[in-house]
Amino acid sequence: MPENRPDSFGAFTMFVFPCAVAATSMDLYIADAGLGALFRYDPTMDVMAAIPGARITQQSKIAALADGSVIVTNGTDVPVEKIDPIASYWGSVAG
């Protein structure tokens, strides 16, 4: 049986407490509060990978934008984060 780790990747990833899902035209994003990680599934390569730097909690919400980027919010305690998978950019949107 595979290990539950936030840095695991592959077509098969075991989630502990998935709390949010968002989809772009190219990818599927799954936020797992149990692992504290945001995962990106790429259907063209059939690969799931954890996105470094994402802070996921039970209060996390994610939303896909029309440009292919994803917004992550964890309530009012931390800033809204944005990831752009094409430019590999992860940064704060609002404080």
Per-residue pLDDT of the chain (95 residues; tens, 9 = 90+): 345 555 555 556 788 999 999 998 888 999 999 999 999 888 888 888 888 878 899 999 999 998 888 899 987 666 788 887 665 555 666 54
- What the block records as the tokens of 60 is 């996390």
Q: What is the DSSP string of 13-53?
A: ---S-EEEEEE-SS-EEEEETTTTEEEEEETTTTEEEEETT
CA distance linking residue 74 with residue 37, whole number of Å: 12
Note the pLDDT of residue 67.
85
Between β-strands 37-42 and 47-51, what pairing exists: parallel, antiparallel or unpaired? antiparallel
CA distance linking residue 61 with residue 75, whole number of Å: 8
